[in-house]
A = this chain, B = another copy of it.
Amino acid sequence: MSKASKVNTNVLIIGGGVSGVVAAITGKAFYLNKSFTLIRKESQLIDPCSIPYVFGPLANTSQIQVSDDSLKSMGIAIVTDEVVSIDQNSRVCKTGDGAEVHFDKLILALGSVPKTPDWLEGVHLENVFTIPKDYQYIDKMVTALGDCKEVVIIGGGFVGFEVAYELVQTGKEVTIVEALPYLLGTAFDNEAGSRAQIALERQGIKVKCGTEARGIVGDSRATGVLLSNGSTLPADAIIVATGYRPQTSLAEQAGIQIGDTGAVPVDQYMRTRNPDILAVGDCAETRCFITGRPNHIMLASTACAEARIASINLYRLSAVMTFTGTVPIFCTAVGDTAFGSAGPTERDAKKMKFNVVTATYEGVDKHPRDLPGTHVQAVKLIVARDSGVILGGEVIGGASTGELTNLIGFAIQNRMTVNSVLIGQVGTHSLLTAAPIVYPLIRAAQIIAQRIWTV
């Protein structure tokens, strides 16, 4: 944006990631007469969920760029520039290029950046990487990893899990180091975490759970990771995948409240204390659907829901389209085995102080099991004993795992009980689902309903 220019827009969105784009296109669809401007630092958006596949079947980030076509075709102005300050009183943002943007409504979609564990000695050495949502960084990293044989990934969450699988397919020797006793611990209980570990190990990935990284060794270039058990893992490259933190410095400087989670607290319409300034996506602090306590889950799908709600309610409130709390829904896959989770794990539900009943039913995802491509399908449900309300669920299965997890997610969002699921009608088909008699979601509900019923 040229120096000293002045721009007026009805709605200004800061951030070109998933939540920013969804806020813009949804808002414009509902408020055709308002002008929308999206300002972002990057010249292009990449789909963050697809980053791991750039280390595998996709050549580089050009294949995961999200097109600006839908923004442009709707008449949303896209500005590549950096907002350096927000004045809440005069409703003006200033940019790095010296422009002033006047707005009625401001949507903060500031996103998140990798948590770099600065306490970890050697973390800034050459050949130590993180996974930011930055296509230039990722493309350079792909090139740098080209010559590396041994890769150590610190962190066994979703990013570490998926990147490990893609790298091992390209012939590298990969080791994951995870401090917790299981992989994917934020989303899965021990059984599923343990099966996820077995799925990786079958691909030749070494997994060291219950092991902490204590330092990175090497002079200028990293050569290994010092572990809590005293040994050193040799490495040609190290990937630190220990989570993300919200980017909120711009908001903080503008006097916008920052919550204990480090993100910007919002109401059910995604508004900050200033009702004309909203926050969505990774920079927003929402509340847990189950307990109502502040929380901060960074998921593209949750970010999209938040962005839709923010922009639909910009100028006219809906009494029903409110954000009623975060239901974390995750899914991932290695090879032909997928893992999905919706709502809290059993471990988390117990920490919340629920009296929990759980059951797992394991079957297959097609029927009969002799059909080609049939995969094990196991469903676990986590239920509050007093009411039978479904709090969470986990799925291990094949290609239908994502949508089956979403089915559990909808059950949670509708506060369905095991009774309702047990008598629910589901379509079944030999090639597409489990058999009707043994449909695992219903059978897991049945086991729990029986236990509650016979009390």
Known: A321-B419, A433-B403. A29 touches B367 (CB 8 A): no
Known: A410-B410, A424-B305, A430-B53. A320 touches B437 (CB 8 A): no
> Would you list the 8 A-B pairs with minimal beta carbon distance, nearest first?
A402-B432, A329-B427, A403-B403, A399-B399, A402-B433, A414-B414, A304-B436, A300-B436
**B398 lies within 8 A of A427 (CB):** no
Known: A326-B425, A368-B47, A422-B308. A399 touches B57 (CB 8 A): no
- By a CB distance below 8 angstroms, the chain B residues around A372 are 57
- Give the number of copies in the complex: 2
**B304 lies within 8 A of A450 (CB):** no
CB distance from A243 to the nearest CB of B (A): 18
A453 to B433 CA separation, bound complex (whole angstroms): 36
Asked if A63 is at the interface (CB within 8 A of a chain B CB), the reply is: yes
**B402 lies within 8 A of A428 (CB):** yes
**A428 lies within 8 A of B50 (CB):** no
**A49 lies within 8 A of B331 (CB):** no
Contact with B along A170-184 (1 / 0, CB 8 A): 000000000000000
Asked if A34 is at the interface (CB within 8 A of a chain B CB), the reply is: no
Asked if A340 is at the interface (CB within 8 A of a chain B CB), the reply is: yes
In the complex, the chain B residue whose C-beta lies closest to that of A404 is B403
- By a CB distance below 8 angstroms, the chain B residues around A66 are 435, 437
Interface centre among A329, A331, A402, A427 (most CB of B within 10 A): A427
* B-binding residues in A (CB < 8 A): 18, 21-22, 25-26, 29-30, 47, 49-50, 52-53, 57-58, 63-64, 66, 299-305, 308-309, 312, 318, 320-323, 326-327, 329-333, 338, 340-342, 367-368, 370-372, 398-407, 409-411, 413-414, 416-417, 419-420, 422-433, 435-437, 439, 442, 446, 449-450, 453-454
CB distance from A455 to the nearest CB of B (A): 13
- By a CB distance below 8 angstroms, the chain B residues around A302 are 425
In the complex, the chain B residue whose C-beta lies closest to that of A46 is B368
- By a CB distance below 8 angstroms, the chain B residues around A303 are 436
**A308 lies within 8 A of B436 (CB):** no
**B371 lies within 8 A of A53 (CB):** yes
**A446 lies within 8 A of B407 (CB):** no
In the complex, the chain B residue whose C-beta lies closest to that of A58 is B370
Cross-interface CB contact of A301 among B403, B406, B436, cutoff 8 Å: B436
**B436 lies within 8 A of A18 (CB):** yes
- By a CB distance below 8 angstroms, the chain B residues around A410 are 407, 410-411, 414, 416, 424
Cross-interface CB contact of A399 among B47, B409, B432, cutoff 8 Å: B432
Given A50-B430, A402-B427, output 18 extra A-B contacts at Cβ < 8 Å: A25-B437, A26-B446, A29-B450, A47-B430, A47-B435, A50-B371, A57-B371, A57-B372, A63-B368, A301-B428, A304-B439, A312-B453, A322-B423, A333-B429, A398-B399, A400-B403, A406-B427, A409-B424
**B402 lies within 8 A of A399 (CB):** no
A371 to B49 CA separation, bound complex (whole angstroms): 13
- By a CB distance below 8 angstroms, the chain B residues around A332 are 429, 431-432
A278 to B83 CA separation, bound complex (whole angstroms): 69
Known: A402-B433, A411-B410. A423 touches B305 (CB 8 A): yes
Known: A320-B419, A410-B411. A432 touches B401 (CB 8 A): yes
